[in-house]
Amino acid sequence: MNSRILLVAVVVVVVAMTSLAPVTSKQSTDCERSCGDIDIPYPFGLEDGCYHSRDFLVTCDRSSGTPVLFLRDSNITLNNMYPADSEIRVMGNVAHVCYDSPDNETLSNAWLNLNNFWISDTNSFVAIGCQTDAYVIGRKDTNQIITGCVSTCNDSNISDITNGSCSGTGCCEFTIPEGLGYSQVRLTSNNTMTLNPCSHAFVVEEGGYNFSSTDLLDFGSEKMPMKLVWAIIDGDKTCHTSNASDDFLCKGNSECDQEYVGPGYRCYCMEGYDGNPYIKDNCTNIDECKDGTHDCEDWDICTDTVGSYICTTKGWAGYTKNSTYYCVILKSMLLLAGISVVGLFLLLLFTWIYLGLKRRKNLILREKFFKQNGGIMLQQRISGDGSSQIQAILFTVEELEKATNNYDQSRIIGKGGFGTVFKGVLPDDRIVAIKMSKIVDQTQTQVDQFINEVVILSQINHRNVVKLIGCCLETEIPSLVYEFIPNGTLFDHIHNECKSKAITWDIRLRIVTETAGALSYLHSAASVPIIHRDVKPMNILIDSSYVAKVADFGASKLIPMDQNELATLVQGTLGYLDPEYLQTNQLTEKSDVYSFGVVLVELLTGKKIINFERPEKERNLTKHFIASIDNETLLEVLDENLQLKEVPHDIILVSRLAQRCLHLKGDERPTMKEVALELEGISASMIDKHPWVKSTSSEEATEYLLNGPSENYEDTDDTDSSTSTFYSMICKPKITPMASGGYR
């Protein structure tokens, strides 16, 4: 009796343990694998046990008559699933905002907040509207990514807007960064025009949207198609650690993607196989001979093999040496050999002729480009100048190719929207930065302006302005050659945690004083006034002795002597743009003054100008900084690395100067010359009061050894401002150069 009771107890325990065990995923045909016309391949599933993990749970809503498939418990609608490419196609939300609404800034729903899914870099971000700022705020790994674009309209007439073009007029777009996870869309509009006060922004797959000017009047879409990529995230399993695991999905003819560098792992069918790589033995052989995907010649016999195929050439099989056909075959072979020799001779002759014609064509083309880019005009300006002020060197294509080792990829020190920067070494061992632009305007007016700018910049001999050495005009797009500055940008020295501690207040004051002097020189001392138009820390280079060098004249404008302002399309960097210039399109010298004021704020606070992670009242750093001066709470916003217990008088003076530079009306701002003189006075008072702040030569040498020269530059455009790639030897070991700039 006791043994029976014991047996019953054991059975009860076993049944209970079985019921409590976790449900294992299954790939069998017992699972429902469709929702309407949409297939649901594994690792996705509709019910427990039919998916790999809960991240791949999908829901089929049949309540409306037409089945609709959703991802997990969200409102993300699925259109298609592509397990072979680890992709899904979904419908993403469209963000809308209207200028006349109570809140002209909107956030779309958090349309992506999933562990295993990221936005594919084949998608584009599109914004539609007039005077519209649109951003994507997302997260890649542990870093926040903020990127966006600006769409403007000149007037209320849509006839000037080009259909199918999202170049910034009525519509703007950019490619989504790879690996972007949790994301939101932020959209603001200053559109007061009569067309339509509303703006729209969305992420859309490649080819999923074609801009039309009528969309400015009425854009009714609430969702747009986009692609997401995914991976199997199962603990710490990767391609390198989980091959022997029983629950590792890449089995049989399925391989793990070794090139994937994100979290988890991805599978794909081996070459010659097709199917679902996440199901064991589902990758089956492809019959290339039957499908016509082989590369055998028409006279070959194609034979399919497992995972591949064989091409067999038809020959004289069965013919023996004593057969009557042997002599015919031998003669045919001799004839074929003779034809081959003659053919080889003709091939060499034609190759020699072709190379000669190509060389001549290249010379003619180089001469054409030289004239087209204003080379003759530049030669006349150089030879016609009686003095030796114009020192621009005209480099040949061969000279720059030799200086950059034929533009070797390892010589790239910067990439951006305006072009690529290469490090080069001239025959006299001078190290230079060679900028190859991306865009060129072939109108005669623009050529004249380009040559005039080269001549003027080559005459600038200011210690705080990057020196233009020369140019090459023998290619379709001219190349500019600048002096090489080895120690990165001011942006990096402010925001790199290690470097920011090394630049004390006296060094910071010296840098902004030198920068102000350079801008004052450009405004008032140059032969033709130059407005920089893109003043920001990323365009202020720092050499090994912490001497400031103003760079990046790609957006600069030459102002005729008889004009105080110039009407242009708005161009610059968000956060640093003069609001008056943004509203009126009238560029003046005071626009540089406003941007310089923003630089002062960034240098004093050590914080980035735009950061949506800060509290709402602190998101606009310039407004928060001005408010701290008015509220006498300046100490709270100053850079912690300055290690201040109270605000020194000289910092108060610089802060008030920054406040005056940031006046909304340009007439109320000081001139750049007045700013430079005031900063020089503050610096002089510091030296008189604390004579030890002036660095000795030995101290400068020590700073050089600690920081070490860096060979990276940041070519800033509208790229991610959170990236900084200049690291001194004391902070990090040598790294691979990324985005760099300072030269345009």
Q: Is the dihedral of CA 65, 71, 75, 80 positive or negative?
A: negative
CA dist 326 → 329, 337, 655 (Å) = 5, 17, 99
Residue 666: DSSP 8-state:
G
Encode 180-218: b = buried (16+ Cβ within 10 Å), e = exposed. Answer: bbbbbbbbbbbbebebbbbbbbbbbbeebbebbbebbee
Q: Look up residue 164 and give its amino acid.
A: G
Q: Which residues pair with 422 in a beta bridge?
A: 412, 434
Cβ pair 123, 226 in contact under 8 A = yes
Q: Residue 410, exposed/middle/buried by CB under 10 A (0-12, 13-18, 19+)?
A: exposed
Q: How many CA atoms lie within 13 A of 114 on its CB side?
A: 25
Q: Which residues pair with 227 in a beta bridge?
A: 89
Three-class SS of residue 67?
A: coil
Closest by alpha carbon to 172, among 153, 151, 144? Answer: 151
Q: Look up residue 440 and give its amino acid.
A: V
Cβ pair 451, 381 in contact under 8 A = yes
Three-class SS of residue 445?
A: helix
Lookup: tokens for 350? 């034609």
Calculate ∠ Cα 199-158-718, nearest 5°: 50
Cβ pair 60, 68 in contact under 8 A = yes
**What stretch of H or E contains 2?**
helix 2-20
Residue 287 annotated in active site = no
**What stretch of H or E contains 131?**
none
Q: Residue 649, exposed/middle/buried by CB under 10 A (0-12, 13-18, 19+)?
A: exposed
Q: Report the distance separating Cα 605 and Cα 640, nearest Å.
A: 8
Residue 213: DSSP 8-state:
G
Provide Rg for the chain, Cα atoms: 33
Three-class SS of residue 583?
A: helix
Q: Report the distance separating Cα 517 and Cα 662, nearest Å.
A: 18
Cβ pair 537, 489 in contact under 8 A = yes
Catalytic residue among 133, 215, 492, 534: 534
Q: Report the distance separating Cα 165 and Cα 593, nearest Å.
A: 34
Q: At what angle do helices 672-689 and 649-661 cross, to 10 degrees?
A: 180
Q: Report the distance separating Cα 621 and Cα 637, nearest Å.
A: 9
Which H, E and C letters describe 247-270, residue by residue? CCCCCCCEEECCCCCCCCECEEEC
Contacts (Cβ under 8 Å, ≥6 apart) of 118: 112, 179, 180, 181, 228, 229, 230, 262
Q: Is the dihedral of CA 166, 167, 171, 174 positive or negative?
A: positive
Alpha helices per DSSP H over 315-412: 326-372, 375-384, 397-403
Active site residues: 534
